[in-house]
Amino acid sequence: MWLPSETMWWLPSPETISYTKTALSVAASLAATTVLLRSITTDLIPESLYNCIQSNLRKLSNRFSSKLTLIIEEYNDLAGNEVFSAANVYLGSKLSPLVKKLKVYKLQKEENLQICMDKDQELCDYYKNVKINWVLVSMISRNVNSRNINRKRDHHGSVSNEARYFEVTFHKKHLDMVLGSYLPYILQKAKGIEQEKKTLKLFTIDYNGIDYWKFVVLNHPSTFDSIAMEPDIKGMLLEDLKLFLGRKEYYKRVGKAWKRGYLLYGPPGTGKSSLIAAMANYLRFDIYDLDLKEVQCNSDLRRLLIGTGSKSILVIEDIDCSVQLHNREDSDGTNDDDKVTLSGLLNFIDGLWSSCGEERIVICTTNHKERLDPALLRPGRMDLHIHMSYCSFNGFKTLASNYLGIQNHHPMFDDIQGLLNKVNATPAEVAGELMKSDNVDISLEGLINFLQNKHNNTSK
C-alpha cells in the first residue's frame, strides 16, 4: 500500500521497534526481579535479619540527611503510650487526598465512627509553617517476650505479635519546637477531638459489675436553649461552668481538687433533671446517678465514688429523702463502715477522697432545702445554690418557642402572663398543656383554661 511521503514520519523504523522491545523486556525483567526479591525477602530471610537490614539502611540514610526522625511506639513496656494514642486521634482528623488507606471502626455502644491511619501510610502535617511527615509502621515480631507489641488473633485463630509505631520526620533544627510545642499541641488537640465525638453515658449502680457501675447511652436532648429558666440565672450558670472548665492550673495552684458542687432546689417539676442533662450536653460529661438508698455502707460508697471517671457529673437526687444520713454527732458507737454516714459522703465531696479524679461536677437536688444539714451546704461542697422556681413568663416564652415554634408575640400572651403572675405552675405543667395540640391557638387556649382553673381552685 502506497502512502504519501509526508505521512511516512509516524511509522516506526525497525531500529525503533527493536529498541522498544528491548526496553519492555528489561522493564518486565526488572519487575519480575523485584517480585522475586520481595518473595525471597519474605520467605527466606529471617525476620530479625530483615528488620536489622531495614534499620541499618534507615540509619545510613539519616547519617547523610538533614532530617531527624522521632519514634513514637504504641506501648511503653506494658503501658499504653499516650502520645501514640493522641497522634492516632489527631491524624485521623487530618484527612488528605494523598492518604490511600484509612482504618474505620466503631466501638460497641459508641455512636460515632473512629478514623485513623492504616499501616505504611504517610501523612504530611504543617505546624508553624514547618513540614512534618508521619508514617505509621507496623512490624510483626517473633519475640514473644517483647513488651512493646500488641498481641492479637487473625481470622485463622493464630496469634500475631504486632509492634506499631509512628515515624515522625522533620528538619533537625526544629527538634526543640517539635518536642516543646508540637507534640503538646497534639495531646491537647486530641483531647478536644475525643471530647467532641464522645458518646455521653448515663451510669447507674450495678453491684454485679466489676466497678459497681453499668451504663446506657445518654440521648437526652435538653440544652440550655431549651431550658425554661430566667435568663439571668441561666447566664450566671453558664459563666460559672465556663470558668470552671478553664481553671485546671488555678485549682492546682491553690491546692484544691478540680471539682465544683451545685445544689438544685425547688418544687417537683421545675426542671432539675432537665437542667442536669443540659449541663452534661454542654460540658460533654458523663452522668453518674447515685441513689444512696441502694448503698449499704461507707465502704461501698467509697468504691462507687472511686469508680466514677473524670469529666463526669455525679448526681444525688432528692438527697433530703433518699436516705437518713447519720451525722458525726449522731454516732451510736458502731462502726461507721456498717452504714452510710454524712461524714462518709462529705469526705468524698470535700475531703481526701475528693482528689480521686479531676474535672468533676457534683450535683445534689432537693425539694426541701431547709431539711439539709448545714454541713452539706457550705462552699467547697455545694458552691452554687440554684433555685428552680415555678414557670415565669420568660420561661413560658422559651417553652412556646420549643413546643409550638412561636418566635414573636402572640395575642394570647398577655392573658397568659397575667395568669402566671397569679398562679404557681411548674414548667412541666405548662409544657404538658402545650403538647396537647399542634394547633397554636388551641394549645394556648388550653393553657389559659388550665391556669384559670388552677387560679380558681387556689382562690377558694
Sign of CA dihedral 252, 253, 257, 260: negative
Q: Grid coordinates representing 230?
A: 430566667
pLDDT at residue 279 is higher than 60: yes
pLDDT at residue 287 is higher than 70: yes
pLDDT at residue 252 is higher than 50: yes
Domain boundaries, the chain: 45-197, 201-387, 393-459
Query: How many Å apart are CA 252 and CA 250, to the nearest integer?
Result: 5
- Mean of the pLDDT values across residues 385-406? 95
pLDDT tens digits along 396-424: 999 999 999 999 999 999 999 999 999 99
Say what percent of the chain tops pLDDT 90. Answer: 46
pLDDT tens digits along 306-348: 888 889 999 999 988 765 554 444 545 555 566 788 877 887 7
pLDDT at residue 5 is higher than 50: no
Q: Does domain 201-387 have CATH number 3.30.420.40?
A: no
- Mean of the pLDDT values across residues 371-376? 89
> What is the separation, in whole angstroms, between the first and last Cα of the chain?
119
10 falls in which pLDDT band (50, 70, 90)? Answer: very low
The burial of 395, by beta-carbon neighbours within 10 Å (0-12 exposed, 13-18 middle, 19 or more buried), is given as: buried
138 vs 435, higher pLDDT: 435
In one-letter notation, the amino acid at residue 44 is L
pLDDT at residue 151 is higher than 60: no
Q: Grid coordinates representing 175?
A: 527538634
Query: How many Å apart are CA 290 and CA 266, to the nearest integer?
Result: 20
Average pLDDT, the chain: 81
pLDDT at residue 276 in the model: 97
Say what percent of the chain tops pLDDT 70. Answer: 73
Pairing assessment for the beta strands 114-117 and 102-105 based on DSSP bridges: antiparallel
Nearest CA-CA partner of 284 in 305, 312, 307, 308: 312
pLDDT tens digits along 17-52: 555 556 556 555 655 665 555 555 556 666 667 667
297 vs 131, higher pLDDT: 131
Question: Which stretches within 180-284 are classed as H helix?
Answer: 183-197, 231-245, 248-254, 272-283
What is the widest separation between alpha-carbon atoms in the chain? 122
